[in-house]
Structure 1
Amino acid sequence: MDKNEHFYLGTISRKFSFKGEVVLQINPDLNTYPKHIKSVFVDLQQKRIPFFIETTKAHKKNSIRVKFEDVNSEVETEKLVKHDVYVLKSELDLNEEFGLKDLIGFTAYHKNEKPIGKIENLNTSTPQAIFEILSEKGSVLIPVNEDWILEIDEDNKAIYFELPDGLLDLND
């Protein structure tokens, strides 16, 4: 199956119960979790493995509790934690809108100055999504804040930020 047929739904942030439930941090690009979804794909060992959903329950803002069929213990759920979850695009009513996950691989700039580094990951397992950027000095973390984004240049794979004074110094 072609990975381009998939849409990033979220990341399993933690196990919830001893009966096989997990907490799914929902993709910040989605307004709500699409309740009609019956199956998803979990990125395990560089393969997307299908899982059928038994139940979903509201949890906290931007997250839900999910119980997968045939996942019935803490040991089984532990293997799923910190893995990305995808759904077939055909299952969703999506216009081909550009999302935050699409920024992975983009070069991040502060204003129009020299580059901060390349966006390596979008961490959505925290209450606020965070860009993880690999710079010359190491890892740089920048919270996702629309007010700080000046421009996204899809053609040149660049994102321009205007960051608060001292934010980049926190990462030193």
Structure 2
Amino acid sequence: MLRIEDCYLAGSFTKTHGVKGELVAKKNGDLLERNKLESILVDIDGGLVPFFIPKKGITSRNHSSVKILLEDMDTEAKAKRFIGCDIYIPTKSVPDYIEEAEDLDPNVLIGFTYVDEEKGELGEIEDIQDYAGNIILVISIKNEEVLIPFADENFIDLDEENKTITMDTPDGLLDLYL
């Protein structure tokens, strides 16, 4: 059985679309569209449940969401049960495209542990914010929300297997928060 730790958080269902069972999902990056997925995993009550996607079952809606039709999902009533559920993709199903920071979709980093080159492990990346093309990693350190810019020049290493990212945090940034 797959564990959440072995998957990427690809998005979450936010609402239904129409009356034929289609769902709208807020996406974390372009994993859902780019990979031409045949199936996804849905977190239902803490367990990952696989669902198959018919051909052309994922369509872009706008820059932050997609429409998804799951097999055997044919009514709005069935679809409503999925609102609020997270969508995962097994790590092994995602092509190995994380080679350099410039190629990396930062949204796949949600759930990764942030490691500072000097200070060591700081915490888990909880969210990614995009401020006009400036990507910010949101990390909780000692119950304090810390915003760290994700820039190529600060990127050191990414360990997909252990779900860690090592970066050289800009000097003095952590002192502002802690």
**8 Å CA contact retained: 1:12, 1:125:** no
Q: CA separation of 1:105/1:86 partners in 2, compared to 1, >3 Å: closer, same or farther?
A: closer
Structure 1 alignment gaps of length 5 or more: none
**Which residue among 50, 60, 63 is the counterpart of 1:61?**
63
Higher share of residues assigned helix: 2
Contact 1:15–1:74 (Cα < 8 Å) also in 2: no
Give the corresponding residue for 1:106.
113
Maintained 8 Å contact 2:138/2:145: yes
**SS of alignment partner, residue 152 of structure 2:** helix
Gap regions ≥5 residues in structure 2: none
Aligned pair count?
163
Provide the alpha-carbon RMSD of the alignment: 4.5
Give the TM-score normalised by the residue count of structure 1.
0.61
Which residues of 2 match residues 1-172 of structure 1 at below 5 A?
A: 1-3=1-3, 7-8=7-8, 10-12=10-12, 14-15=14-15, 17-19=17-19, 20-27=22-29, 30=31, 32-35=33-36, 37-54=37-54, 55-61=57-63, 63-68=65-70, 69-70=72-73, 72-73=75-76, 76-77=79-80, 79-81=82-84, 83-87=86-90, 89=92, 92=93, 94-95=95-96, 97=98, 101=108, 104-109=111-116, 112=118, 114=119, 117-123=122-128, 131-142=137-148, 145-147=150-152, 149-152=154-157, 154=159, 157=164, 159-163=166-170, 169=176
* Identity over aligned pairs, percent: 15
CA distance in 2, matches of 1:115, 1:10: 27
